[in-house]
Amino acid sequence: MTRVFSGIKPTGPVHLGNLLGALQHWVTDQAEADSVYCVVDLHALTVPQDPSVLRATTLELAQVLLAIGIDPDVSTLFIQSHVHEHAELSWILECTAAVGELRRMTQFKDKSEGAEFVSAGLFTYPALMAADILLYDTDRVPVGDDQRQHLELTRDLAIRFNGRYGDTFVVPEAAIPHVGARVMDLQHPTRKMSKSDDSPQGTILVLEDLRSVEKKLKRAVTDTETEVRYDPEAKPGVSNLLAIQAAATGRRPEDLAAGYSQYGPLKVDTAEAVCELLRPIQARYAELAADPAGTADLLAKGADKARAVAAPTLERARRALGLLPH
């Protein structure tokens, strides 16, 4: 069976872009692949975090993943720092990676430029990500386009390690979702919806009050024409609404467009589709949030399941390198 691995950082509330662009695929992948999903809290530490916020955000993200339908009996869901093999293999891969190739990572350039404090961890971030992936003999990694370069590096590190020390790691493939997987900001539809709080009216959170969700979608920026057409270049606002409704209902934006001749009904239906999608998620989340001990128990079991795969892989790497067995 194909092994799928993906991770998400607990660095803010989950928004509609995360859900439609990435997490929904995690849910559907469960049926066809042996799926391993990880809340990558160690990756969050690459930039300064408030401890109480990190703790709350990590738990919330795990509960959102459960609420959207990640089934811990079918998949493996765990917190990165609960499986210490990640940090250990990360060190080994830091020693496999060259400074030059880490310096070429555009995410590092973007995040370090102008920053007051740049941690060494921000620089070696891709080695930890490679460790996440390689520990599980991963075949396929569903990620957004922005992670393509990190995936390429993971492949390079696996190939280099295997070449130097003998076959140890499975070389993974990226699985980048198709167009339409990008959800844009509702107020600035030429930029991606994101969890940064400079555009609260443009971002819909998965746990947001549904009246507020409806309001934001009804106030979404469109254009001065009246024609409903899926054309992200010429009509970014309208196309975003079509793409959101399509992703929420499992249809195609082009097909949806044919059913509208005005913006008003498009907004009303899109708001309804998003609320229909979020309502059961929020109900399940409320149940989970009322029982943190239950979630902790599920996550402990997830970590045990993960460790059962990760530990033998790390052991292979240790032996291949010549580290003395103990």
- The catalytic site residues sit at 111, 192, 195
Residue 65 interacting partner from ligand TRP, ligand AMP, none (CB closer than 5 to 8 Å by kind)? none
Min dist CB 65 to ligand TRP, Å, is: 13
- Regarding 62 and contact with ligand AMP (CB under 6 A), the answer is no
Residue 216 interacting partner from ligand TRP, ligand AMP, none (CB closer than 5 to 8 Å by kind)? none
Three-state SS for the chain is CCEEEEEECCCCCCEHHHHHHHHHHHHHHHHHCEEEEEECHHHHCCCCCCHHHHHHHHHHHHHHHHHHCCCCCCCEEEEHHHCCHHHHHHHHHHCCCCHHHHHCCHHHHHHHCCCCCCCHHHHHHHHHHHHHHHCCCCCEEECCHHHHHHHHHHHHHHHHHHHHHCCCCCCCEEECCCCCCCCECCCCCCCECCCCCCCHHHCCECCCCHHHHHHHHHCCCCCCCCCCCCCCCCCHHHHHHHHHHHHHHCCCHHHHHCCCCCHHHHHHHHHHHHHHHHHHHHHHHHHHHCCHHHHHHHHHHHHHHHHHHHHHHHHHHHHHHCCCCC
- Regarding 5 and contact with ligand TRP (CB under 6 A), the answer is yes
Site string for ligand TRP, 126-145 (x = CB under 6 A): ---x--xx-------x-x--
Site string for ligand AMP, 194-213 (x = CB under 6 A): xx------------------
> Which member of 111, 140, 188, 192 binds ligand AMP (CB under 6 A)?
192
> Which member of 35, 58, 75, 147 binds ligand TRP (CB under 6 A)?
147
Give 125 or 161: the residue with its C-beta nearer to ligand TRP. Answer: 125
Using CB under 6 A, list all residues that contact ligand TRP: 5-7, 9, 40, 43, 129, 132-133, 141, 143, 147, 150
Residues within the interface to ligand AMP (CB under 6 A): 8-9, 17-18, 21-22, 143-144, 146, 181-183, 192-195
